Amino acid sequence: MEAYFDNSATTKVYPEVKDIMVKVLEEDFGNPSSLHVKGLNAEKYIKEATEIIAKSLKVDTKEIYFTSGGTESNNMAIIGAAIAHQRIGKHIITTAIEHASVHEAFEFLKRQGFEVTYVGTDESGKVDPEEVLSLVRPDTILVSIMYVNNEIGSIQPVDKIGKALKKKNPKTMFHIDAIQAYGKIPVYPRKLAADLVSISGHKIHGPKGSGALYVRSENTNNVIKPIIYGGGQQRHMRSGTENVPAIAGLGVAARKSFENFEDKVSHMTMLRDRLVEGLTAIDEVYSNTQDAPHIASISFTGVRSEVMLHTLEDKGIYVSAGSACSSNDNKKKVSGVLAAINLPKERLESTLRFSFSEDNTIEQVDYAVEVIKELLPVMRKYVRK
């Protein structure tokens, strides 16, 4: 049996996503900026995807911009907002457990002379809204907080933070990285008092290289400045010929993700809980799992995570030792998220992430639990000799 539990890294595309992308590539391949019928046909796909995503977020179509994925959406939001507001101040705030595409954007801005404040979390990986608000100053121009943590599934209180932030300093931009939230929990930027919200296609069964950024429409140029210049596509906010096949695929993925939404979320939650219950019944196995319906973080003390990962791979079980993006840098690097929540050293080095999609089954979960029950004592005995 094959059991793919790395859906927070990427998902398998829906068949309908593949079909529409092939159609665009083979038939409706025009440049959407062209004035002839081929260009107009290509532009229709962009318009349709925009309408689907705007509807899912309950926002206006003019507030949606397409990007090459979550990393670009986060960079466009963070760097673009900092550039737009630097005359007001250079103080920016984020958390200690952000994805690399947020953390590294803030580190870049720090090198450009911005002052960065990193907010810590409690042992569940959540920030305290009161602490965030206490750090906001008259010269604070940006606060960026992820909605759902990509390693342990903590859901941040972004609704409380956004509303309180706007009362304390209406000029401070509020960015939410919703890449692990979109398609798993409701994401409504206006309800959250968010100015900027990032989403990614390949986390919701869409194509890699697709994403979108919500930008609050009230005088957009006062919210962010472009970081990519050229032909002025997407209302001059993100130049470059649009990737129409990917945008069309993203639109279809977004539409399908929200069909029978509550049933899909309930299914993932049930699988997560079943896995956690089965694995934590094993001696010295601990759960770091938090709220998100699709993420389980499990520590197998006595066996390093990389060893466990590859042992499971041999059995057709695919999991992650942390963020897929972060692992490009240093495969032996301790997770910053797990360190931030003060996990003991033996758990820091032995944690795996299991992440679910609507495609996963009870049989796959039970298979994984049985394989681990059988292999873990043997592996521990071998390691401890």
CATH (domain of 350): 3.90.1150.10
Q: Are residues 293 and 233 in the same domain?
A: no
Catalytic residue list? 325
With beta carbons less than 8 A apart as the criterion, state whether 329 and 14 touch. Answer: no
Pick from 257, 289, 319: which residue ends a domain? Answer: 257
Q: How many structural domains comprise the chain?
A: 2
Token digits of residue 91: 């103080």
75 and 219 part of one domain: yes
Beta pairing class for 317-318 and 285-287: unpaired
pLDDT of residue 222: 74
pTM over 0.75: yes
What is the full per-residue pLDDT of the chain (385 aa) written as tens digits? 999 999 999 999 999 999 999 999 999 888 888 889 878 888 999 999 999 999 999 999 999 999 999 999 999 999 999 999 999 999 999 999 999 999 999 999 999 999 999 999 999 999 999 999 999 999 999 999 999 999 999 999 999 999 999 999 999 999 999 999 999 999 999 999 999 999 999 999 999 999 999 999 875 557 899 999 999 999 999 999 999 999 999 999 999 999 999 999 999 999 999 999 999 999 999 999 999 999 999 999 999 999 999 999 999 999 998 654 555 554 456 778 888 887 888 898 899 999 999 999 999 999 999 999 999 998 988 765 4
**Model pLDDT, residue 220:** 55
pLDDT, residue 114, reads 98
pLDDT at 330: 47
CB neighbours of residue 189 within 10 Å:
21
Q: Looking at the structure, tell me whether residues 202 and 324 fall in a common domain.
A: no
Q: Are residues 181 and 275 in the same domain?
A: no
- Domain boundary among the residues 242, 257, 272 is at 257
Q: Judge if 253 and 268 occupy the same domain.
A: no
Domain match, 208 and 83 both: yes
Return phi, psi of residue 190, to 5°.
-70, -40
Last residue of a domain, one of 257, 287, 311: 257
138 and 224 belong to one structural domain: yes
One domain, residues 284 and 346? yes
24 and 45, same domain (yes or no): yes
- Residue 285: give the domain boundaries: 3-11+260-384
> Do 175 and 323 fall into the same domain?
no
Q: What local confidence, expressed as pLDDT, does residue 322 receive? A: 64
CATH classification at residue 20:
3.40.640.10
* 203 shares a domain with 59: yes
Q: Tell me how far apart the alpha carbons of residues 75 and 373 are, in angstroms, rounded to a whole number.
A: 42
